[in-house]
Amino acid sequence: MRTLNSYLEAKLFEDKIGDYLASICLNDEKILKEYTISERIRADFYLPNGCKNMKWLPQTAVEVKKGINFSSISRIFQIYHVLFKEQKISQLIIIHNSPINNDSLRNYLKTLDSEFIKIYNVNELIQKDEFTNNDKEIKEIPSEIDIIDKAKDAYNNMRYTFFLGAGLSMDAQLPSWSALLESLLKSENKKPFEYINNANSESISYAMGYSSIVTGRYALDGYLRDDKKNEDENYQDFIERIRKVLYKKKNYKSALITSVAKAVKRKKPAQIITYNYDDLLDELLNKKDFYSVSDNIIPRTKEVPIYHVHGMISRDNSRPSNSVLSEKDYHHLYSNPHNWANVVQLNALYTSICFFIGFSMTDPNQRRLLELARAKDKHSDEIDKLPHFVFLKKAPLKGEASEEVNKEHWREIEYMMSDFGLNVIWYNDFSDLPKIIDYISGYTKNKPQI
C-alpha cells in the first residue's frame, strides 16, 4: 500500500496524522491504527464511529500518503471499492502532503465517486476550522525528513561501519568488473586461451550471460590448465595478471576515496569492509591506526581492520594477495555461513550503523546477507528504525518515462531497500557523493543541495 518517498518519512507523517485525527474526533469516536479490514487489506486508520466534526461516516478507512500519483490512487481506489461494495467500509479518506500539479491526475480525481472517496491535502485541511477541536492548535507538517541529516546524526553518535563497493575504485579510474574480466580474458603469452583476442573478449562475457562470476570462472580455468606449472604457480600467474590490469598508473586520484579517508580519520569506524581488490584506500590511511585483512587470519589489535572480503591485490606486492573472482570462489565463500568474510559482514550489520558506498545493491550474495541480518534485527518491523544507509545514483528509466513514472520507480527502489534495513540517500551526479560524505562526517558545514 505504501509507495512513499521513504518508509521513514511515511512513518513520521502517519504518526502526525494520527495525532491530528485524535484532535478532531470526539471522545467516543475511536481511532484504530493499522486496522485489518480484510485478510489482505490493512488501513492506516479506521474510524468505526466516523468523525462528526468532519462529517465522515461510521466505518471510514483513512489512508495516509506522503505523495500521490495516478497509479497509487487508482490502485487504492480499486482495492477499497471492493470493500465498499461488500459493505465493509462506508467511506475512504486519503490524506496526502504533496501538491497536485499534474492536469491528468487532477482530471482523474474529478471522475472518482466523491460520496465514497475524499482526498485532502493536509496543509489545506489544517487551515479549515473543522480540523480543530476544543481550540487545539494544529501546526503544519514538515514536507519531508532529511535523510542526509539523519545519516550525519548516526555517524556522530553511533558505532559505524563503511561498506565500500566497486564505485569507489572506479572513481579512481581503476577498471570496472567487466573491463577487468575482459582484460583477463585477452590472450597474453598464450594465456588464458590462445583463441581470445581484443575482438572477441567481450563476446565471451556475452556468451556467459554477462555474469561476472561465471566469466571469472571461465578465465581462471584457462590459467589453471597450464600443465607446465603446478596449480599454485598458475594461480600466482593469475594474480599477477590482475595486478597488472589494476595498476596501470603510478598515481591515482579519487575525490570519493579521499572523502572516505577523511571521514574515517575524523571518527574511527568499528571496521571498514570493502569488496574491492585494490589497496588505494589502505595506502591513504595511517598504517598505525588501520590494518588490512584479506584472509581468515585476523589479529587481535586496537587498530581498525580493513576487511577485503573478496580478496586483495596489493600494488607493490608487499602483502599476500588473493581474489574471490570466479563462480567456484563465490560458492566456497557463501556456502559456508561461518566463513570469516560472512562473519565479519554479519557482525557489522548486527552491531553497527552501516554506510554502503559505491554499490548498485544488485549482488545476490550481498542481498542475502542483508536480508538475513534484517530478519534477526529486533526492530525489523519498525520502519522508523531502519538502521543502515545506502548511497544510490538516480538513474532515470530508459525511453520516454515521465517525471512521475521515474519518481514512482525510485520510490519502489526505496521500498525494496527498506526490506534490507536501508535508508536511501539519493544523488544525481557522482561528483555529489564526496560532498555528501564530507557533510555527514562534519568535514564541511555546507550541506550539499541534491
pLDDT of 133 higher than 50? no
pLDDT of 272 higher than 90? yes
> Domain limits of the chain?
7-145, 149-173+252-440, 177-246
Average pLDDT over residues 386-401: 87
At 383, the pLDDT band (50, 70, 90 cuts) reads low
pLDDT of 163 higher than 90? yes
Q: How far apart are CA 46 and CA 244, in angstroms?
A: 65
Whether the CB-CB separation of 340 and 298 falls below 8 Å is answered with: yes
Whether the CB-CB separation of 58 and 87 falls below 8 Å is answered with: no
Amino acid at position 191, single letter: K
Q: How far apart are CA 423 and CA 391, in angstroms?
A: 9
Whether the CB-CB separation of 366 and 446 falls below 8 Å is answered with: no
Average pLDDT over residues 159-183: 91
Full-model pTM: 0.68
pLDDT of 280 higher than 90? yes
- Of 391, 393, 394, 447, the closest CA to residue 424 belongs to 391
Average pLDDT over residues 49-63: 93
pLDDT of 1 higher than 70? no
At 382, the pLDDT band (50, 70, 90 cuts) reads low
At 210, the pLDDT band (50, 70, 90 cuts) reads confident
Q: How far apart are CA 380 and CA 159, in angstroms?
A: 19
Where is pLDDT greater, at 235 or 90?
90
At 132, the pLDDT band (50, 70, 90 cuts) reads very low
Percent of the chain topping pLDDT 70 = 89
Q: Cell numbers at residue 53, please?
A: 466534526
Q: Which residues lie across from 65 on neighbouring strands?
A: 96
Mean pLDDT of the chain: 83
SS3 assignment for the chain: CCCCCCHHHHHHHHHHHHHHHHHHCCCCCCCEEEEECCCCCEEEEEECCCEHHHCECCCEEEEEECCCCHHHHHHHHHHHHHHHHCCCCCEEEEEECCCCCCHHHHHHHHHCCCCCEEEEEHHHHCCCHHHCCCCCCCCCCCCCCCHHHHHHHHHHHCCEEEEECHHHHHHCCCCCHHHHHHHHHCCECCECCCCCCCCCHHHHHHHCCCCHHHHHHHHHHHHHCCCCCCHHHHHHHHHHHHHHHHCCCCCCCCHHHHHHHHHHHHCCCCEEEECCCCCHHHHHCCCCCEEEECCCCCCCCCCEEEEECCEECCCCCCCCCEECCCHHHHHHHHCCCCCHHHHHHHHHHHHCEEEEECCCCCCHHHHHHHHHHHHHCCCCCCHHHCCEEEEEECCCCCCCCCHHHHHHHHHHHHHHHHHCCEEEEEECCCCHHHHHHHHHCCCCCCCCCC
Region of 49 on the Ramachandran plot (φ > 0 left; ψ -120 to 50 alpha; else beta): alpha
Task: Please give the pLDDT value at position 329.
Answer: 83
The structural architecture, per CATH, of the domain 149-173+252-440 is 3-Layer(aba) Sandwich (3.40)
Work out the burial of residue 218: count CB atoms within 10 Å of its CB; fewer than 13 is exposed, 13-18 middle, 19 or more buried.
buried
Average pLDDT over residues 305-317: 90
Task: Please give the pLDDT value at position 216.
Answer: 85
Percent of the chain topping pLDDT 90 = 34
Dump pLDDT digits (tens) for 112-130.
Answer: 877 889 988 887 776 554 4
Task: Please give the pLDDT value at position 11.
Answer: 65
Q: Among 150-159, 340-349, 400-409, 436-445, which stretch is predicted with the lowest mean pLDDT?
A: 400-409
* CATH number assigned to the domain covering 7-145: 3.40.1350
Task: Please give the pLDDT value at position 128.
Answer: 52
